[in-house]
Amino acid sequence: MNSRRDFLQKVSLGLGVTALSGLPAAASDFAKIPMADKPLRVAMMGLGGYANIVAKGMQECKLAKITGVISGTPSKVDTWKQKYGIPDGNVYNYDTVNQLKNNPDIDLVYVTTPNSLHHKHVLQIAAAGKHVICEKPVADNAKQAREMIAACEKAGVRFYIGYRLHFEPHTREVIRMREAGEFGKIMHVNNFMGFKIGDPTQWRLKKELAGGGAMMDVGVYALNGARYSTGEEPVWVTAQESKTDPVKFKDVDETITFQLGFPSGIIANCGCTYNFNHGERLHLMGDKGWAEMVPAFGYGPIRGNTHLGPINQPDVNHQAYQMDGIADCILNNKPDPNVTGHEGLKDMIVVDAVYESIRKGGAKIFINK
């Protein structure tokens, strides 16, 4: 297994309080969306593995279309131009991003560059006057996330984070059940996400590009899952790090376990790793019922059960659902779903606290919003 992309595809067998705000009531509603006469025109920034997955998924979109690319690798650009019919005038490199402001054929830029470049690139896109989607984690820390939000608000552009699971039907059904009180009072959450990382020279193992290790990359899934499983925001964190390969993981964290305390007294036990497979799960327990999803966070199919039986929801293309959902909000001026920069900031506030707890030997860190 050579990459996070391979892991997410293979282990999953293929491609906020109101986390559903602004979305259709049922997953089937997306299937009823008609093709747009004028779709949201999207440029991909960074043409690595995940950009290719997004682009492939967007071929199923009804409301969004790839019309441009931003890359520093000419050989990749040539491939994308051929595959997606991108004209020369919609091709940019990292030094010409500011010229986007003069291009009416691009409405939004999807940033899939390495984590530590997100801050710089989102600021560039905002300055060019384009809407932006940024992959998670939104930034290296909460301070950067706040700056990105402020820049987008000043520019009058919409700022989203690639929380595709907020559009995924099984996940949305669990949130619906929780909000409807079908689990009763939530008592406990137990989430884990991880995989055995491959190539030791890849950017995810270099702190200057990744910002951190497993916590930044896959720990955000467990963390965000705890937040939408409870409908609450954590008020304290404790965290521990373990390393079995100090050479490979000399710059970044290998395995982190962390505990989240919520205002109602709920405790979430969470973890993430770069050193083993087969740990992906979400499990919430209430005083009237429970839900478990295994796999819970990969590209699909997601599978789950509750005390009432299997979660019978359709298997969908996550990237297409995400892009059509966001495009619907922009094109039709609908309220934003819970995947804006503010949602990303909430996760980064907790991630900062996780790392602070580790630096302080596992101390309880109270979270300041």
CATH code: domain of residue 247: 3.30.360.10
In-domain check, residue 253: yes
pLDDT digits (tens, 9 = 90+) for 82-103: 999 999 999 999 999 999 999 9
Pairing mode, if any, of strands 281-286 and 267-273?
unpaired
Long-range CB contacts for residues 150-155, cutoff 8 Å, separation at least 24:
151/122, 151/123, 151/126, 151/127, 152/122, 152/126, 152/341, 154/126, 155/126, 155/127, 155/129
* CA 236 to each of CA 24, 75, 138, 190, 348: distance values in angstroms, whole numbers, following the listed order: 33, 47, 21, 16, 14
Helices 49-58 and 4-11 meet at what angle, rounded to 10?
Answer: 50
Please report, in angstroms and rounded to a whole number, the separation of the first and last CA atoms in the chain.
Answer: 38
In-domain check, residue 10: no
Position 309 scores a pLDDT of 98
In-domain check, residue 121: yes
CATH code: domain of residue 160: 3.40.50.720
Taking 50 as the threshold, does the pLDDT of residue 31 lie above it? yes
Whether residues 121 and 210 share a domain: the answer is: no
Pairing mode, if any, of strands 309-310 and 365-366?
unpaired
| CB distance 252 to 213 below 8 Å | yes
| CB distance 99 to 107 below 8 Å | no
What is the C-alpha to C-alpha distance for residues 153 and 279, in angstroms, rounded to an integer?
38
Q: How confident is the model at residue 32 (pLDDT cuts 50, 70, 90)?
A: low
Point out which residues pair with 133 in neighbouring strands: 110, 160
Position 336 scores a pLDDT of 87
Q: How confident is the model at residue 238 (pLDDT cuts 50, 70, 90)?
A: very high
Whether residues 100 and 134 share a domain: the answer is: yes
In-domain check, residue 68: yes
Range with lowest mean pLDDT among 131-135, 249-253, 328-332, 333-337: 333-337
Within 10 Å of residue 25's Cβ, how many Cβ atoms? 9
Within 10 Å of residue 210's Cβ, how many Cβ atoms? 22
Mean model confidence pLDDT for the chain? 92
At 238, give phi and psi (nearest 5°). -125, 150
pTM of the model: 0.92
Point out which residues pair with 281 in neighbouring strands: 192
Taking 70 as the threshold, does the pLDDT of residue 5 lie above it? no
Whether residues 179 and 159 share a domain: the answer is: no
Position 29 scores a pLDDT of 59
Whether residues 361 and 231 share a domain: the answer is: yes
Q: How confident is the model at residue 11 (pLDDT cuts 50, 70, 90)?
A: very low
Whether residues 179 and 234 share a domain: the answer is: yes
What is the C-alpha to C-alpha distance for residues 260 and 233, in angstroms, rounded to an integer?
9
- Beta strand spans in 2-161 (E): 40-45, 64-70, 91-92, 108-111, 131-134, 159-161
Q: Which of 105, 129, 164 is the last residue before a domain boundary?
A: 164
Whether residues 155 and 238 share a domain: the answer is: no
Whether residues 108 and 213 share a domain: the answer is: no
Whether residues 216 and 88 share a domain: the answer is: no
Q: Which of 164, 182, 197 is the last residue before a domain boundary?
A: 164
pLDDT digits (tens, 9 = 90+) for 51-85: 999 999 999 999 999 999 999 999 999 999 999 99
Taking 80 as the threshold, does the pLDDT of residue 132 lie above it? yes
264, 259, 224: which is closest to 238 by C-alpha? 259
Q: What percent of the chain has pLDDT over 70?
A: 91
Position 301 scores a pLDDT of 95
pLDDT digits (tens, 9 = 90+) for 175-214: 999 999 999 999 999 999 999 999 999 999 999 999 999 9
Position 66 scores a pLDDT of 98
Position 266 scores a pLDDT of 98
Quote the domain boundaries for residue 351: 169-311+341-366
In-domain check, residue 17: no
In-domain check, residue 14: no
Whether residues 304 and 236 share a domain: the answer is: yes
Whether residues 203 and 292 share a domain: the answer is: yes
pLDDT digits (tens, 9 = 90+) for 267-317: 999 999 999 999 999 999 999 999 999 999 999 899 999 999 999 999 999
What number is the average pLDDT over the span 236-241? 98
Whether residues 64 and 184 share a domain: the answer is: no
In-domain check, residue 334: no
3-state secondary structure string, 201-224? CCHHHCHHHHCCCHHHHHHHHHHH
In-domain check, residue 40: yes
Tally the domains of the chain.
2
Within 10 Å of residue 136's Cβ, how many Cβ atoms? 21
Taking 90 as the threshold, does the pLDDT of residue 3 lie above it? no
* CA 136 to each of CA 67, 118, 219, 313: distance values in angstroms, whole numbers, following the listed order: 23, 9, 11, 25
Whether residues 97 and 176 share a domain: the answer is: no
289, 296, 236: which is closest to 267 by C-alpha? 236
Q: Which of 114, 143, 164 is the last residue before a domain boundary?
A: 164
